[in-house]
Amino acid sequence: MSEKEELLKRLSDGVVEMEEDDVEEAAREYLEAGYPAFDGIMEGLVDGMNRASRLYEEEEYFVTDVLLCSDAMYIGLDILRPFLPEESGERKKKGVIGVVEGDTHDIGKNLVKIMLETAGFDMVDLGRDVPLTQFIETAQEEGADFICMSTLMTTTMGGMEEVIRMLEEEGMRKKVKVMIGGGPISQKYADKIGADGYSQNAVEAVKLAKRLLNIA
């Protein structure tokens, strides 16, 4: 295993094991060795958070565990993010993200937001249990290029279709792409309600956003 791979593993393991000091130390060593900050975030910190999310889904971790993992991840992000390459002068593509009304599960949404920001998108985070009209109003106010919605509950899935309907009523549908995700969501459901895309996880969400907005 190369030095870079060892440091990436330490970053990932530190997040999974909720060890903030280990993550901080590994992040500083990673930068001192001259490795790209972007890889450290994606292949180290985010990899660890994805692992923690899987442990949560498998009921080996509780919500409190995942929150401690995210604290460790943020420690690493604070160190690595200032060393990301400068963006070009072009306007960043802007997205509005939130968990639909009636659902307060936001761990997956938070991870997607971090990934999209790291990839260069300007994200407006509405949080959880978001009133459906707020997606529309915020997209209008911010001049958003896309909306991301998530839910972990089958009872709130219908809100996603309602947001798409409201976009059409406001004459915004052709201008604003819609991405959806979450436990009960599938590509079949995305097709059914007319969403532009569905992503299974945070990594796929970045790829999808880039594809929908024609970003290389």
| Three-class secondary structure of residue 177 per DSSP | strand
Q: In whole angstroms, what separates CA 15 from the centre of its chain?
A: 16
Write the Ramachandran bin of 31: left for phi over 0, alpha for psi from -120 to 50, otherwise beta: alpha
In the prediction, which pLDDT does 88 show? 55
- Name the phi and psi angles at 182, rounded to 5: 130, 165
Neighbours of 167 (CB within 10 A): 21
In the prediction, which pLDDT does 90 show? 66
In the prediction, which pLDDT does 89 show? 57
In the prediction, which pLDDT does 6 show? 97
Which two tokens mark 72?
Answer: 């460790």
Helical packing angle, 107-118 and 46-57, nearest 10°: 160
Per-residue pLDDT of the chain (216 residues; tens, 9 = 90+): 899 999 999 999 999 999 999 999 999 999 999 999 989 998 999 889 889 888 987 889 987 898 899 899 989 999 998 998 776 556 789 999 999 999 998 888 988 898 888 788 999 999 999 999 999 999 999 999 999 999 999 999 999 999 999 999 999 999 999 999 998 999 999 999 999 999 988 878 988 999 999 986
Residue-wise DSSP of 85-151? PPPPSSPPPEEEEEEETT----HHHHHHHHHHHHTT-EEEEEEEEE-HHHHHHHHHHHT-SEEEEE-
